[in-house]
């Protein structure tokens, strides 16, 4: 089921997610719905906050398009795995650490910030300790776009959005759009509340 994606200005995007402690069919269904929502919006990642739930949960899918080569490292539990086998990945209760000091700049977007893009510096190589939908523990070592996507979505789980990490010039360039989006979202929330009361 495709879920509505929340836009910037909704307070839930600033809420740190609760750790997931119940691994049941409801959690599995939520993860499946999030993956479907992400695909429907042509995204490569989606965090629980973006569908209105403050949880330590996100999904990622950075499979290369047909005919393209995988240009990032993906090692799951010590084994190299092709992206088409591993994705979509559901990552729960993530703990992320940098594997080295290498950083890179990349132009990011976000499903909760439609039409807004800007340069963000992130670690190039990371290790992610996490649980899957059954609660089983895993270790993911990755680089490039997958590493960036995991960091972006894990930030959402901590109540951090990508404009917080955006380079200053990019943030200034997008300031009017960001302000407008926040204003429109808050107005929509107020309208919805008023309709509910009447």
Minimal CA–CA distance to 161: which of 198, 103, 116? 116
Task: Kindly name the residue from 75, 119, 153, 188 that is annotated as catalytic.
Answer: 153
Minimal CA–CA distance to 111: which of 167, 49, 65, 169? 49
Residue holding tokens 């990371």? 126
Is 153 a residue of the active site? yes
Minimal CA–CA distance to 145: which of 107, 171, 179? 107
User: If you count them, how many residues does the chain have?
Assistant: 198
The two tokens of residue 158 are: 């901590």
DSSP class of residue 66?
T
- DSSP code per residue over 17-56: PBPP---SHHHHHHHHHHHHHHHHTT-SEEEGGGGT--BS
Residue holding tokens 């510096």? 121
Question: Residue 146: what are its φ and ψ, rounded to 5°?
Answer: -65, -45
Q: Which residues are catalytic?
A: 153
């Amino acid at each position: 089921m495709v879920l509505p994606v929340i836009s910037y200005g909704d307070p839930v995007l600033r809420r740190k997610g609760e750790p997931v402690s119940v691994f049941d069919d409801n959690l599995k269904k939520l993860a499946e719905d999030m993956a479907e929502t992400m695909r429907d919006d042509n995204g490569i990642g989606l965090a629980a906050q973006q569908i209105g739930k403050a949880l330590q949960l996100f999904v990622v899918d950075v499979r290369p398009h047909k005919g393209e080569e995988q240009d990032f490292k993906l090692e799951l539990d010590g084994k190299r795995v092709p992206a088409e086998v591993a994705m979509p990945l559901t990552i729960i209760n993530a703990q992320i650490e940098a594997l080295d000091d290498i950083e890179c700049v990349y132009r990011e977007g976000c499903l909760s910030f439609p039409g807004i893009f800007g340069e963000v510096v992130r670690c190039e190589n990371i290790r992610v300790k996490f649980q899957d939908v059954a609660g089983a523990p895993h270790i993911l070592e990755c680089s490039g776009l997958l590493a960036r996507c995991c960091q972006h979505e894990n930030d959402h789980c901590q109540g951090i959005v990508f404009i917080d990490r955006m380079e200053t010039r990019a943030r200034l360039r997008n300031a009017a759009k960001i302000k407008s989006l926040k204003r429109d979202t808050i107005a929509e929330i107020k309208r919805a509340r008023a309709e509910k009361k009447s």
